[in-house]
Every structure is written in structure tokens, then in C-alpha cells.
């Protein structure tokens, strides 16, 4: 699995990139910076599933070589956020319905384990750190800052994984949270699909009260509330590439 930046690093890299602009004053741009910027744009749903990530445009944007862009795209492909199509280049991944279902199934399993461990370790300070995220999430929603709301809702889940203190679970969850964002972008019916901060409060309070069973049940229900409204009916693409479908099988 590719090493993902944590949500806070992603946010910082996104903010920095916006001020530095192309290439960043002649300084070499690190792979991690490019990764974080593209990663941030995908999980914040500024780059939609199916968007072509042209190498030339990326080279120009970051002022780096094609080899470097290819390296970053490969890492994003390992994180399942980018799809590399033979002879056609890189695209923001378009998760299938089956994949989307599997991601939610995996989240329910991983987050139940996270919540159970977090309940054991929860201190007043840890609860406060969760509460602070939920308050920020609420403020972001009030001012209709969708990107901040998406980032903060991911932060809530990842903070829980940190509290649980199992780095393997954290790493699984990081991948699942970013893939969920892509799934919501692909199948969400409304622009505010995703986490509800009310649900986050309910989970956090159950954890503060040391009620692991209730916290797991609330988390499970929370994930179902995100999954259920998604529109998993696939529509035919009117601009489907006939050559790909009807032409001779591609060599692999």
C-alpha cells in the first residue's frame, strides 16, 4: 500500500500549493507535495471520478519531469485513487458498484475494531480532540465550506483510529476513507452526501461514557446512513468508446 499523507498534511500541502502556484519559485517539487495536492483534490471531490490526468498538463502545473509525474501517478494508483489505463494514461478512478459495496463492508469491519479499541483507551483529552473536530465540522457546514467539511469528517474517523493506537488499522482506514470520498463523488445523489456531524457526536459521546457496544452500533449505523442514499444504478454512457468495446481485444 502506498504511504498516504495524513489528513492534516494533505490539508497543509493543498493550502501551500495554492499560494506557491506553478512549480513553486523554481524550487524542486517533491513527489510527496504533488501526491498530496492531487490526493487532496480527489478526496475533496474537486477532481471527479473519470477525469483524465494528462501527464503533460501535470508536468506544466508542477514544473517537473514526466518521469516524476509517472512515479506519483503510480503511487496514487496503489492508493486506488487513480486508474492507469494501458495506452490511454491516468484517470481519477471510477469505483464500480461492487467495489463500492466492498469498501463499505470493509469500513464496517475496520471501524468496529477501531471503536472497540478506542473505547478502552479513551481519556478526557482524547474526547476533547474528537469534540474539537466535530465542532469545526459543524462550523464548516454552517458556512457551506464543503471541502473543509469533507476533510474534517475524514479527520474524525482517522483521529479515532489514532486513539485506537493500531497503525495497521489506521493505514487500512486511511485508504478506505479516501476511497469512500471517491464513491460518494461517483454515486452521491446530493452535494452534501457523506458524514453527518450529529452521528459523530453520538459516537464520541458513547466512547466518552465508556459504552463500547453503543459506540460500535452507532458507528455501524452511521456507515449505513452514508451508504444507503447512494445511487448504485449505473447509467449507460452515451459517449462510450465503441472502438474499445467492439474492436479486437487489446493486447495485454
Looking at the Cβ atoms of 2 and 225, the one nearer to Zn ion is 225
Q: Which is nearer to Zn ion, 80 or 107 (CB)?
A: 107
Nearest approach in angstroms of CB 246 to Zn ion is 43
Which is nearer to Zn ion, 17 or 180 (by Cβ)? 180
**Residue number closest to Zn ion, CB atom:** 195
CB of 225 to Zn ion, least distance (A): 9
Of the two residues 64 and 216, which places its CB atom closer to Zn ion in the complex?
216
Binding of residue 150 to Zn ion (CB under 5 A): no
Smallest distance from the beta carbon of 171 to Zn ion, in angstroms?
18
As beta bridge partners, residue 81 has none
Minimum separation from the CB atom of position 192 to Zn ion (A): 13
Give backbone dihedrals phi and psi of 58, rounded to 5 degrees, phi first.
-70, -40
Contact (Cβ atoms closer than 8 angstroms) between residue 76 and residue 39: yes
Q: Are strands 82-85 and 52-53 parallel, antiparallel or unpaired?
A: unpaired
Residues paired with 53 in a beta bridge: 90
Question: Shortest Cβ distance from residue 15 to Zn ion (Å)?
Answer: 23
Count residues binding Zn ion (CB under 5 A): 1
State the nearest-atom distance from the C-beta of 200 to Zn ion, in Å: 6
User: Cell numbers of 81, please?
Assistant: 485513487
Q: Choose between 41 and 195: whose C-beta lies nearer to Zn ion.
A: 195
Beta strands in the chain (DSSP E): 52-53, 82-85, 89-92
Residues 151-210 contacting Zn ion, CB under 5 A: 195
User: 36 or 195, CB closer to Zn ion?
Assistant: 195
Q: What are the Cα distances from residue 13, in Å, to 10, 46, 89, 128?
A: 5, 15, 25, 26
Count the neighbouring beta carbons within 10 Å of the beta carbon of residue 129.
14
Smallest gap from residue 65 Cβ to Zn ion (A):
39
Nearer to Zn ion, 228 or 237 (CB): 228
Binding site for Zn ion (CB under 5 A): 195
Amino acid at each position: 500500500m502506498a504511504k498516504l499523507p495524513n489528513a492534516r498534511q494533505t490539508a497543509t500541502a493543498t493550502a501551500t500549493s495554492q499560494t506557491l502556484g506553478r512549480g513553486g519559485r523554481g524550487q524542486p517539487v517533491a513527489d510527496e507535495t504533488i501526491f498530496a495536492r492531487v490526493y487532496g483534490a480527489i478526496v475533496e471531490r474537486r477532481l471527479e471520478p473519470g477525469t483524465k490526468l494528462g501527464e503533460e498538463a501535470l508536468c506544466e502545473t508542477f514544473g517537473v519531469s514526466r518521469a516524476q509525474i509517472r512515479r506519483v501517478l503510480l503511487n496514487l494508483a496503489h492508493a486506488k485513487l487513480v486508474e492507469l489505463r494501458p495506452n490511454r494514461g491516468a484517470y481519477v478512478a471510477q469505483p464500480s458498484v461492487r467495489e463500492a459495496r466492498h469498501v463499505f463492508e470493509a469500513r464496517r469491519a475496520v471501524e468496529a475494531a477501531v471503536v472497540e479499541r478506542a473505547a478502552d483507551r479513551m481519556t478526557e483529552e482524547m474526547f476533547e480532540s474528537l469534540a474539537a473536530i466535530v465542532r469545526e465540522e459543524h462550523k464548516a457546514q454552517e458556512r457551506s465550506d464543503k471541502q473543509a467539511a469533507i476533510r474534517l469528517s475524514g479527520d474524525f474517523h482517522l483521529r479515532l483510529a489514532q486513539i485506537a493506537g493500531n497503525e495497521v488499522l489506521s493505514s487500512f482506514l486511511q485508504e478506505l476513507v479516501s476511497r469512500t470520498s471517491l464513491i460518494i463523488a461517483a454515486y452521491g445523489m446530493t452535494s452534501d452526501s457523506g458524514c453527518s456531524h450529529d452521528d459523530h457526536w453520538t459516537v464520541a459521546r458513547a466512547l466518552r461514557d465508556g459504552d463500547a457496544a453503543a459506540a460500535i452500533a452507532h458507528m455501524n449505523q452511521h456507515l449505513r446512513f452514508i451508504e444507503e442514499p447512494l445511487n448504485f444504478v449505473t447509467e449507460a454512457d452515451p459517449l462510450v468508446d465503441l472502438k474499445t468495446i467492439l474492436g479486437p481485444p487489446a493486447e495485454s
